[in-house]
Structure 1
């Protein structure tokens, strides 16, 4: 089940595990001051345990999907895809949002292309990981 949540600590716990512990992102880069103004999506397993999260920011007519993370036990189950689909649908339901953007780790570009995102611009470093910007027009 994926739904909006106010349980930012559950989301941060997943992000800490995936980004800080597994990927070596510093806590200073991972934890920022945007969580308070963001929409948080949380995926829970059958026993209610938090398994995945995504953070949505509203920037004018653009919704930004970020901080997408899935715990190791839930990887390969389609949960990441369901998080992206839920994020797009959440943003589609917000008046005035006409496009979605995200910053993709380069190894995940083909994953996001499956949802209609198109990569543009150069590869750049974000927290020591190569990324590329991607956008999707909402129609």
Structure 2
């Protein structure tokens, strides 16, 4: 792949807006574990090697296990690896990331209300939106794992 423009340096105001969103997300009530599950799963769906690399490393630093990371793309096939709360979060992550298919289903939304309050559901949706935006920036710019772009 050839090197492309880096939106982060070409359009610094756009980067500033994304950093503002990340600042908000750093202060939300959902746990770091849940945030990293969102980031990894959405990045897997989108095929973003740069973000998968970054967020699996971050998850490991935050205490996530290798087994849970390795099995994340097959989470529906596991029984005891992920909590019910995490399974709901992963379902929402997939549905919002693949919004063009069926949108966020009533089933996933209603199940989420068993574990999360309305504000937390909004936080989860914003976290999913953010990582999907970062995936698109990284993929469009051919960002490579392990390299710094900010």
Q: TM-score, normalised by structure 2?
A: 0.28
Instruction: Name the structure with the higher strand share.
Output: 1
Bigger relative contact order, structure 1 or 2 (CA pairs below 8 A, ≥6 apart)? 2
Computing the radius of gyration from Cα coordinates, the structure with the larger value is 2
**Structure-1-length-normalised TM-score:** 0.29
Q: Greater helix share, 1 or 2?
A: 2
